[in-house]
Structure 1
């Protein structure tokens, strides 16, 4: 997601593309969802990441097939628009939904960044301070993205590979300091509830979001038909492995009540108990790097998509404005809206909104692939299985909302109503 601009001669290799995808995926994902996951399913958390990863593989299948077929950097939005060329409403809806999905993940990463940044202070649980710090980090990366694309790319490379090293160290240190074993935890835990595991896997779907950023770099790579599938599958497998090992290390070394009590910064609070001061610092550094690179990369990739959508007439024209080829208005508007979302919601509602949105958008991608599966030479079985799995994931989250926090469901529904009205108005105006 970083180096897209600085290498106009097509030399993005698999290594860089994997960095782009992992930079987006291993963002705030693990740091955000670990606490929530343990509070819901305890010892089965690592299993939920495997199931979530399998769901992401299904979603990725159609994305890759469409990406290789269309070779269009507009990714999600362009694929849908080109598969359903006669429906301006379809293009408009997916445009609005996907961009707001990115805005919500931006809010999620900033909120997580801020939770870890202040976790060592006495005001760690102060909501107002947490939201102010989240706003500040968005502001910093907004300025970085507007000022220099090249600097942003260099920074991104360093952040992505450093955070992977740190996450590996944290995982091994946690596993070495285990104070229990999985069989003991399973004995003390309630029976295996398949429904809950599937629900948590759906909720954590957002932790695998970010692979699409590889597709935005299609014009900067050699042999996209080989490099897109290769880099996305490798990075998805690595993300799944990292999440599994890290969550496994966390549950065998950190008492559940500590994770649940501090779910916004679960890893940091647990590390202090086991590893003392330096362990906490390492975890906090890992979290800050992970969320920073994800904030930066999401602003970079999504603002370009936002600018293309505006240029096509599906959103306010002002968003297409560029200076030195940087879509500065789209970057600013994204930053403003993600901060508004932070002010309005809390971690859980932002997480749920993000996951529902990316499940929905991935479902629509699978449907687009289903429509032209012969042209993309896709397996009909895998495409239908993906549609079923993604639909099930969405239904599970909405059902969970309905039965546990109905007011959050209203909040998510009202956001969708506003987005759908906006999309409808712009597609109608464009028809005229």
Structure 2
């Protein structure tokens, strides 16, 4: 038994950082940039940096709870074990988190397909795009079912290659852009005079979704080496690298691409900008970077979320067959995650699903900070930092809801409807678990 456990500890620091970065540096940066520039102009890099600080505050409680509980159920298990008497709260956190992951998995696959065919004659053929999206989910489902170690090594290659490509793109855009550093600073000053702090904080909150994914590291606690050291190192390293990548990339885009073009193109702004600077070669480099970014995000999300789904199912809040494992790999959960994400892709409405995912993860991060505050003495957490996390995440959530209310009221109502449906499902399963405990 001891030998088997040692063999299962296959993920080192490099693989864990890759899993976290794979979950974070996915489709987010290719869509968030356009939204950020449309609201705050050349102050977008500052807003994106503040968004990273919010993510770091959220990560603090995740790290502390992970080191205390050492449970691959992560978000769900932390809340359940901190509030053991509330079956419904455990169930609803489990449902929200898992469906949040399903929504981001669908988004990453759809973004992969969009970039993969963006320079072909099939770019606007929706069913080819959806077919490619479902196919790439199937590919990484097979990889995750095949081998934990194999997944880790492939994730390493994809993540670190995409980091090199994104760095090259950033440097090229900055070096060959029509804007020099002095002009860029002048533009920032002009935008600062006409932009409120409130708007900057709204953008910072909206960019939180681009940092979602660091918690996937915790789902691998049973398969990692030296979790006491590697969990905090991997998470904080990944967030720091993500902030650097996003800021440099956003600066590069603003150096080379007129803000009106970034706002107009949004998802394809980087490809269009690189194309203007380097022609087809620049466009192809961006497309390759986007494909690698979304591929690693898909792989990391399938890996981490399936393990969390298996833990929730084992406790009775999902069907029990989802908890079954083979060689410690939750095959049924992996396949189910892939199938549900594929259904979302077929149904469409991914913009709605994206907003649902971003609000969900910010809300869940707030719940983690509250849970950590409750047992801060046990987790050896700073009262000040934990309280600051609660305040920061609360403000972020309120700002996103305000933005939705002002700009996307119908979308906000649809998200509320989704929460009601998921809440009903969570309630049904929590009642089943309560009956089993009583019997």
Shared fold, TM over 0.5:
yes
SS of alignment partner, residue 194 of structure 2: coil
Return the offset for 1:209. 1.3
> Which residue matches 2:212?
209
- Answer yes or no: is the 8 Å Cα contact 1:146–1:326 preserved in 2: yes
Q: Is the 8 A contact 1:115 1:264 kept in 2?
A: no
Please state if 1:62 is matched with 2:61. Answer: yes
Corresponding residue for 2:103?
A: 104
Going from structure 1 to structure 2, the CA distance change for 1:6 and 1:430 (only over 3 Å counts) comes to closer
Please state how far the C-alpha of 1:384 moved relative to its aligned partner.
1.4
The 3-state SS of whatever aligns with 1:195 is helix
1:22-421 superposed matches below 5 A: 22-180=21-179, 181-186=183-188, 189=191, 191-421=194-424
Q: Tell me if structure 1 keeps the 8 A contact 2:72–2:307.
A: no
- Out of 303-312 and 251-260, give the one that drifted further: 251-260
304-313 vs 22-31, which moves further: 22-31
In 2 relative to 1, CA 187–231 (structure 1 residues): closer, same or farther, beyond 3 Å?
Answer: closer
Deviation at 1:422, TM superposition (A): 0.6
| Alignment check: 8 A CA contact 2:316 2:433 kept | yes
SS in 2 for 1:375: helix
User: After the TM superposition, which of the residue ranges 8-17 and 313-322 deviates more from structure 2?
Assistant: 8-17
Q: Could you give the per-residue CA deviations for residues 180-219 of structure 1, whole angstroms, max 9, x where no partner exists?
A: 2313433664712222221121111111111112212223
Equivalent pair of 2:22/2:299 in contact (CA under 8 Å): no
CA contact (8 A) 1:352 1:397 kept: no
Segments ≥4 residues shifted beyond 6 Å: none
**Residues 350 and 217 (structure 1), Cα distance of their counterparts in 2 relative to 1, 3 Å cut:** same
Q: Which moved more, 1:6-15 or 1:112-121?
A: 6-15
In structure 1, runs of 5+ residues without a counterpart are: none
Q: How many aligned positions are there?
A: 428
* Alignment deviations for residues 334-385 of structure 1 (CA, whole Å, 9 cap, x no partner): 1222233334454532332111011011001001001111111211121111
Q: Aligned residue for 1:20?
A: 19
Residues 337 and 226 (structure 1), Cα distance of their counterparts in 2 relative to 1, 3 Å cut: same
Deviating more after overlay: 131-140 vs 57-66: 131-140
Q: Please identify, of 401-410 and 224-233, the stretch whose mean Cα deviation from structure 2 is larger.
A: 224-233
**How far apart in 2 are the matches of 1:422 and 1:346?**
22
Contact 1:199 1:396 (C-alpha < 8 Å) held by counterparts: yes
CA contact (8 A) 1:53 1:208 kept: yes
Query: Which of 418-427 and 376-385 deviates more?
Result: 376-385
Calculate the TM-score normalised by the size of structure 2.
0.92
Q: Contact 1:59 / 1:386 at 8 angstroms: preserved in 2?
A: yes
Q: Structure 2: how far apart are the matches of 1:324 and 1:225?
A: 24
The separation in 1 between residues aligned to 2:246 and 2:186, in whole angstroms, is 22
Greater Cα shift, 356-365 or 326-335: 326-335
Per the TM alignment, residue 130 of structure 1 is displaced from its structure 2 partner at its CA by 3.3
